[in-house]
Amino acid sequence: MSQPHPLQAFLSRIPLFATLTSEDLPDILRALRPRSMREGETIFRQDDAGEAAYVVETGAVEIRLGETGELVVARMGPGEVFGELALIDGASRSATAVCVESGTLHRLDKTEFDFLRRNLRPAAYKVLRVLAVTVSERVRETNDHIARALAPDAPVAGAPAAAAAPGDAGGVRGFFTRLAFWSKS
Amino acid sequence: MSGPALERLPLFKGLGDEALQALRGVVRQRTCKAGEVLFTEGDRAREMFILLAGNVSIFKRLPDAREECLATLVPGALVGELALIDGQPRSASARISGGEASLLVLARDDFDRLFRANKPFAFLVLDRIVVELSGRLRRATARLGEAAAENTPAARAQQARDAAMSLLGVDLTQFDLGEIDLDAIEVEIAPLEQRMRGRRG
């Protein structure tokens, strides 16, 4: 009788892997590798090829935009996933990820993930389906942004007062901040 | 014509015999009249469509209560594909424009059932849809970034319209479908009793 894998409980609490059964787990585990990270270390840079997704076990990672990484878009802690959209099509990174608290990451390699995908392993497609929901949410949000850009003078219900500063036509700054937020994957 | 008619649609190209067989069991054909409403923004989303013949126009309600046409889709296009992914309310409206149209219909419930049964057909369709959507989202986001950098509302609106086209996948050169054989598709997918009842309107 085999013991449950030490990572099993940890993974089962992460939404990206929530639909995996115990039969699916070995597939994902073969694509996951632990890796330590040091404070100050760059995990990946904006425009790098998207080669892996990352799960934080311990420590923290900041997602940043801008040439000098001045715009911090998100902070990812234990149990959180980042860079996962690269698993879909390997698109280049839209942001930079920097370790701000030393700890351990689990790296889900895209090449291994694609192997599972080519072999029609349910594990890969269950993960892909969760990623699809993320993409779908962003498609809808983008649709709403488009609608607002096409009617810039209409009042936006529930918009915080700070979103559109005087002279900031169409809430451009607010939009850019939201755009940055989407980049965290 | 070589190969099954369904397989000539880009979404199903190279699917393989077993997957095509599963597809034939669930997909249906619908003929719609000019002006017919396919779905309305805010509706519950139960189906995805693939346009076989005719045109479908996509409309979005703007915050100032106007409705704007974002794009007109041509044969081969997916319509309402988010229904298969998240089943959230429709984010736009779709209406048949021009003349009569013919569409393939895939119900969310059928897709869900096949996916949960680990059917390769469902896996492959999901894969293709999410890859396509991901690319469209990136292009649309880039366009919106350009919109934010424009100086005038008119220029921003134009970039936003281009972003809408990217999001709907009409910004790329349309693939050459050759001729879609509608009768062959209908024969291929309809069980005998449906063929005897005749085409559904």
Inter-chain CB proximity B126 and A135 less than 8 Å: no
Q: What is the predicted pLDDT for the residue at B8?
A: 82
* pLDDT single digits (tens) B164-191: 999 998 876 555 555 677 777 777 776 6
- Put simply, whether B16 touches A (Cβ < 8 Å) is no
- Put simply, whether A176 touches B (Cβ < 8 Å) is yes
pLDDT tops 50 at residue B2? no
pLDDT tops 90 at residue B10? no
Q: Where are the domains of chain B?
A: 6-172+180-188
* pLDDT single digits (tens) B40-90: 999 999 999 999 999 999 999 999 889 999 999 998 899 999 999 998 999
A residues 77-136 closer than 8 Å to B (CB): 85, 88-89, 91, 117, 120, 122, 125, 128-129, 131-133, 135-136
Q: Which residues of A touch B153 (CB under 8 A)?
A: 152-153, 169-170
Report the range out of A123-132, B14-23, B165-174 with the highest average pLDDT: A123-132
Q: What is the predicted pLDDT for the residue at A170?
A: 41
CATH architecture assigned to A8-133: Sandwich (2.60)
Inter-chain CB proximity A147 and B131 less than 8 Å: no
Inter-chain CB proximity B63 and A132 less than 8 Å: no
**Terminus-to-terminus CA distance in chain A, angstroms?**
38
pLDDT tops 60 at residue A160? no
| E-strand stretches of chain A | 32-37, 42-44, 52-65, 71-76, 81-82, 96-109
Residue A50 identity (one-letter amino acid)? G
Mean model confidence pLDDT for chain A: 85
Looking at CATH, the fold of the domain delimited by B6-172+180-188 is given as Jelly Rolls (2.60.120)
Q: What is the predicted pLDDT for the residue at A7?
A: 87
| Cα A142 to Cα B164: distance, rounded to the nearest angstrom | 9
Q: Give mean pLDDT, residues B139-160.
A: 88
Q: What is the predicted pLDDT for the residue at A1?
A: 52
| Cα A53 to Cα A28: distance, rounded to the nearest angstrom | 12
| Cα B121 to Cα B18: distance, rounded to the nearest angstrom | 8
* Tokens, residue B5: 């008619």
Q: What is the predicted pLDDT for the residue at A174?
A: 52
| Cα A71 to Cα B111: distance, rounded to the nearest angstrom | 41
* pLDDT single digits (tens) A36-93: 999 999 999 999 999 999 999 999 999 998 778 788 999 999 999 999 999 999 999 9
Single pTM value for the model: 0.85
* pLDDT single digits (tens) B119-146: 999 999 999 999 999 999 999 988 888 8
Q: What is the predicted pLDDT for the residue at A58?
A: 97
Closest among B196, B197, B194, B190 to B24, alpha carbons compared: B190
Q: What is the predicted pLDDT for the residue at A166?
A: 39
Q: Which of A14-28, A46-60, B28-42, B136-150 has the lowest mean pLDDT?
A: B136-150
Q: Give the model's confidence band at A171: pLDDT under 50 very low, under 70 low, under 90 confident, else very high.
A: very low
Q: What is the predicted pLDDT for the residue at A70?
A: 81
